[in-house]
């Protein structure tokens, strides 16, 4: 049975092997007080909770910086191949607790704060959530950085230091409103500015070519320059002394104010000009999976790759390998020491930028520069939705990046020669596969550019990787096969870091697992398979059920305190937390809410499984349909939650401002976003993963819930397919159409009206919404919404509705059998090993990057440092 220890006591049981209990508590207390007095200039009488958090964060950072410096010195000495992960998003979330866990000092810090009369959990709550990502793509990048460090890879994350991250969400009268996420308003303890590595990034201007030859070294003149100032954040591995670096770039104007302009009236304009330059890193673009060709977004994409490539070349030239020739740096073997991974198409401009640097700056011949770039770069695709693929107008590129457009045209000329070779006498292929699309406004297809100039292309789940070679990029895959590039197309199923998403956010479950099978699973999640032999152990089932219940009570208490919502913690927690988008089908969930409401109203004395349906997620500010879905869910909640006949048998909760730290709370019960996700995941009973088959690239929220013992209801889409395979097709609720069914329906012609006419339950729900049952003050609020659904329904909500309802009935019946439900939860945890980001990164390293991971191997500690070899 679970003990009655406090959360802090449970967390003290989790530590990295080899660290003596309570070692260094006095040192931590001394460092804490020193930082409080000398760094923050406060004493205990006037210090705030934020001050105490900062003092603790500085103390923890003190324990990391020696390892950080030593890691970079170690890389300089050993000169391994470096991996550079380029991403426009890094959804890091909170850093303090994750750092303590990875350094193995969480127990000591807990004890030190206790002795000082402070609550460490309250201090952790003071940390701002570094929301530098929209969701899955950015959170994946953060998990990858953790795994790269844990596997001992010499890896660097490169992105933008957005001054404002993903917006804070507020719900007013059921509608989403946005507020700025000023996450830097109190500074950031963890980052360190590196002005000595600042570089210039140029835009606009004109190109002077040698004799008009674009392949020759050219001069880019009369440009507008912006300074890219790097800020470094340490990313520690788990228990191995490795601390890698995430380097984020901040835009700065190139020169200070000229005060002489004040008297001429130009001073104010000079301020405005400076602000325009610095707007590049001002705000993260909200993502709604719909590409918009905004000039500022293009500037951001070039800004990060230009600064990063200069940094990569600088580091290569100063390395032992790069300096092997005393006369001139040789680039013929650049790819043997540098691997660049493009996280989706956003950093695809790294390709023409690297060629530009090699040709125009380093004097490398164009053909050689192209081959070097292709051997160095690899591309990860994250979407099959055509509207999400980036296509930049040629005119915009010609104006902003004229030299890069020339290089893209040269790449396209080479590419079309290969197309003609692979598909002789097929002129249609030349048009279909050109990097320059000419139907209407000329545009550059950035996914095509990334494919042509990368030595490896991968999807992020088995079904997604199959779709991109069978459909999205079919011509390019066939061309690769014909030209002998057989290993170019790969799959790398996404994963999550088990440290953050189980060890950190669900300490009670982590300890229960460790008590049964030991702690080897921290670094090898496949060890969780050993839990299968305990899945029928009655005492273990009761223990896991009790842990889940405690997590649910914790979430219920948090919701009561933070949102004033009272829920029954004994009810099933049915969680659907992710970015709000039509393809993720929160609307299907909403229709099921209405269906359950109707069933209870029609049979008030019936035997219904109590259920709390929780939805969380943000809609992009300009995505009006997604915002309407949020309003609909909240409107349904207003009616359902206030109907005395319904009572506690059905409650609907929309969780405001879903973020990573929220997810950590829910993980115990279910999962949604970083701050929220960490709160919610441990408490989830049922995880909703109900996207239309063939639309979700992978998903990682599904993995987090599975790892924390939630059962999944979902379609065979994204990673759900592999989750079902790992579970042997059992212990998971699969419903609805498969990819081939969706394709067949589209070919035949899909009419949602047919399903409306054929399903009484669907018709009743839609008619009630359209008639204003859930919006009595504005009866026609959703009428147009329903009409549009019955005309278009691109994501087959109506087609899958009846199957979803039937599957949910199976869920309700199983939940009544607590032992069997818990047994299946244990089987889900046991089968989650494949979905570790350690496994994903191991596969990237060995099959794409040409690096050898070293899990569990510790590098020399800070005491072995040698001065003068930092980088």
Residues with a catalytic annotation lie at: 382, 578-579, 584, 700, 704
The Cα–Cα gap between 458 and 341 comes to: 11
**Cα 838–Cα 841–Cα 844 angle in degrees, nearest 5:** 155
What's the distance, Cα to Cα, between the start and end of the chain in Å? 51
**Partners of residue 155 on adjacent β-strands:** 83
Q: Which residues lie closer than 8 Å to 366 by C-beta, 6 or more apart? A: 215, 216, 355, 359, 410
Residue 222: is it exposed, middle or buried by C-beta count within 10 angstroms (0-12/13-18/19+)?
exposed
Q: Does residue 679 sit in helix, strand or coil?
A: helix
The Cα–Cα gap between 137 and 307 comes to: 21
Closest CA to 613 of 571, 582, 574: 574
376 in Cβ contact with 354 (< 8 Å): yes
Tokens 């097709």 -> residue: 729
Tokens 């109506």 -> residue: 798
- Strand boundaries in 454-523, DSSP class E: 456-459, 489-491
The Cα–Cα gap between 488 and 727 comes to: 30
- What letters, b where the CB count within 10 A reaches 16 and e where it falls short, cover 574-587? bbbbbbbbbbbbbb
Tokens 């829910």 -> residue: 666
82-86 and 155-160 beta bridge pairing? parallel
- What letters, b where the CB count within 10 A reaches 16 and e where it falls short, cover 774-786? bbeeeeebbeebb
Three-state helix/strand/coil letters over 364-397: CCHHHHHHHHHHHEEEECCCCCHHHCCEEEHHHH
Q: What is the length of the chain?
A: 871
The Cα–Cα gap between 218 and 212 comes to: 9
And the tokens for 287? 């993502």
Q: Does residue 20 sit in helix, strand or coil?
A: coil
Torsion of CA 294, 295, 299, 305, to 10 degrees: 50
The Cα–Cα gap between 840 and 849 comes to: 12
Q: How many CA atoms lie within 13 A of 745 on its CB side?
A: 22
**Partners of residue 168 on adjacent β-strands:** 179
The Cα–Cα gap between 437 and 460 comes to: 26
32 in Cβ contact with 17 (< 8 Å): no
**Partners of residue 616 on adjacent β-strands:** 577, 655
Closest CA to 763 of 749, 752, 775: 752
**Partners of residue 269 on adjacent β-strands:** none
Biggest CA-to-CA distance, the chain: 88
Closest CA to 451 of 482, 401, 411: 411
The Cα–Cα gap between 855 and 147 comes to: 9
The Cα–Cα gap between 594 and 599 comes to: 9
The Cα–Cα gap between 775 and 768 comes to: 10
Torsion of CA 658, 662, 666, 671, to 10 degrees: 50
DSSP state of 183: T
């Amino acid at each position: 049975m679970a003990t009655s220890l406090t959360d802090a006591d449970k967390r003290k049981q989790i530590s990295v092997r080899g660290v003596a209990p309570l070692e260094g508590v006095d040192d931590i207390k001394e460092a804490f007080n020193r930082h409080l007095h000398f760094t923050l200039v406060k004493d205990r009488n006037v210090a705030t909770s934020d001050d105490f958090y900062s003092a603790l964060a500085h103390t923890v950072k003190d324990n990391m910086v020696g390892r950080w410096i030593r890691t970079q010195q170690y890389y300089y000495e050993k000169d391994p191949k470096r991996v550079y992960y380029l991403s426009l998003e890094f959804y890091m979330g909170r850093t303090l607790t994750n750092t303590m866990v990875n350094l193995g000092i969480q127990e000591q810090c807990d004890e030190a704060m206790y002795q000082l009369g402070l609550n460490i959990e309250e201090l952790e709550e003071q940390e701002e959530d570094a929301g530098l990502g929209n969701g899955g793509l950015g959170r994946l990048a953060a998990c990858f950085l953790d795994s790269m460090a844990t596997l001992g890879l010499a890896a660097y994350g490169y992105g933008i230091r957005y001054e404002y991250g993903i917006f804070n969400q507020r719900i007013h009268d059921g509608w989403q409103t946005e507020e700025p996420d000023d996450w830097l308003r109190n500074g950031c303890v963890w980052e360190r500015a590196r002005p000595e590595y600042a570089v210039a990034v140029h835009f606009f201007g004109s190109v002077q070519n040698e004799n008009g030859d674009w392949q020759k070294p050219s001069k880019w003149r009369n440009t507008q320059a912006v300074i890219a100032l790097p800020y470094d954040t340490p990313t520690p591995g788990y228990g191995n002394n490795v601390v890698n670096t995430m380097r984020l770039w901040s835009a700065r104007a190139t020169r200070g104010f000229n005060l002489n302009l004040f008297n001429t009236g130009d001073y104010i304009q000079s301020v405005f000009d400076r602000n325009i330059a610095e707007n590049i890193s001002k705000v993260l673009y909200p993502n709604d999976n719909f590409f918009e060709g905004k000039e500022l977004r293009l500037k951001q994409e070039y800004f990060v790759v230009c600064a990063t490539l200069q940094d990569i070349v600088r580091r290569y030239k100063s390395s032992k390998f790069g300096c092997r020739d005393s006369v001139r740096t040789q680039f013929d073997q650049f790819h043997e020491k540098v691997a660049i991974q493009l996280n989706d198409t956003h950093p695809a401009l790294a390709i023409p930028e690297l060629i530009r640097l090699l040709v125009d700056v380093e004097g490398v011949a164009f053909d050689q520069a192209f081959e070097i770039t292709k051997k160095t770069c690899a591309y990860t695709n994250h979407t099959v939705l055509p509207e999400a693929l980036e296509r930049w107008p040629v005119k915009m590129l010609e104006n902003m990046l004229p030299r890069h457009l020339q290089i893209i045209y040269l790449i396209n000329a080479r590419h079309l020669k290969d197309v003609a070779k692979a598909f002789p006498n097929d002129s249609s292929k030349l048009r279909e596969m050109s990097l320059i699309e000419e139907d209407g406004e000329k545009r550059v297809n950035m996914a095509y550019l990334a494919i042509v100039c990368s030595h490896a292309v991968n999807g992020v789940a088995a079904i997604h990787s199959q779709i991109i070679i069978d459909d999205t990029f079919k011509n390019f895959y066939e061309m690769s096969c014909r030209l002998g590039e057989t290993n170019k197309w790969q799959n790398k199923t996404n994963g999550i870091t088990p440290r953050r998403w189980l060890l950190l956010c669900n300490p009670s479950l982590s300890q229960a697992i460790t008590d049964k099978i030991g702690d080897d699973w921290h670094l090898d999640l496949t060890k969780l398979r050993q839990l299968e032999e305990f899945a029928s152990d009655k005492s273990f089932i009761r223990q896991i059920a009790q842990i889940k219940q405690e997590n649910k009570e914790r979430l219920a208490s948090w919701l009561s305190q933070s949102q004033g919502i009272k829920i029954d913690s004994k009810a099933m927690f049915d969680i659907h937390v992710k970015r709000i988008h039509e393809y993720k089908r929160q609307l299907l969930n909403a229709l099921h809410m209405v269906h359950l409401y109707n069933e209870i109203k029609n049979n008030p004395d019936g035997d219904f499984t109590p259920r709390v349906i929780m939805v969380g997620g943000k809609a992009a500010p300009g995505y009006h349909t997604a915002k309407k879905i949020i309003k609909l869910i909240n409107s349904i909640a207003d009616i359902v939650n206030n109907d005395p006949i319904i009572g506690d048998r059905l409650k609907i909760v929309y969780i405001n401002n879903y973020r990573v730290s929220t997810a950590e709370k829910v993980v115990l019960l279910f999962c949604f976003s970083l701050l929220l996700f960490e709160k919610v995941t441990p408490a989830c009973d049922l995880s909703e993963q109900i996207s239309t088959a063939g639309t979700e690239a992978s998903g990682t929220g599904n993995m987090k819930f599975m790892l924390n013992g939630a059962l999944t209801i979902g379609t065979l889409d994204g990673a759900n397919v592999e989750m079902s395979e790992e579970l042997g097709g059992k212990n998971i609720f699969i419903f609805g159409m498969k990819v081939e069914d969706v394709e067949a329906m589209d070919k035949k012609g899909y009419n949602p009206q047919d399903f409306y006419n054929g399903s009484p339950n669907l018709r009743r729900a839609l008619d009630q919404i359209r008639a204003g049952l859930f919006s009595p003050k504005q009866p026609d609020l959703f009428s147009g919404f329903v009409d549009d659904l019955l005309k278009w329904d691109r994501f087959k909500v109506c087609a899958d509705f009846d199957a979803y309802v039937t599957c949910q009935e199976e869920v309700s019946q199983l939940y009544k059998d607590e032992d069997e439900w818990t047994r299946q939860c244990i089987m889900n945890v046991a089968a989650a090993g494949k979905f570790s980001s350690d496994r994903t990164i191991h596969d990237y390293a060995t099959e794409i990057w040409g690096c050898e991971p070293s899990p569990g191997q510790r590098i020399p500690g800070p005491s072995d440092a040698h001065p003068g070899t930092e980088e």
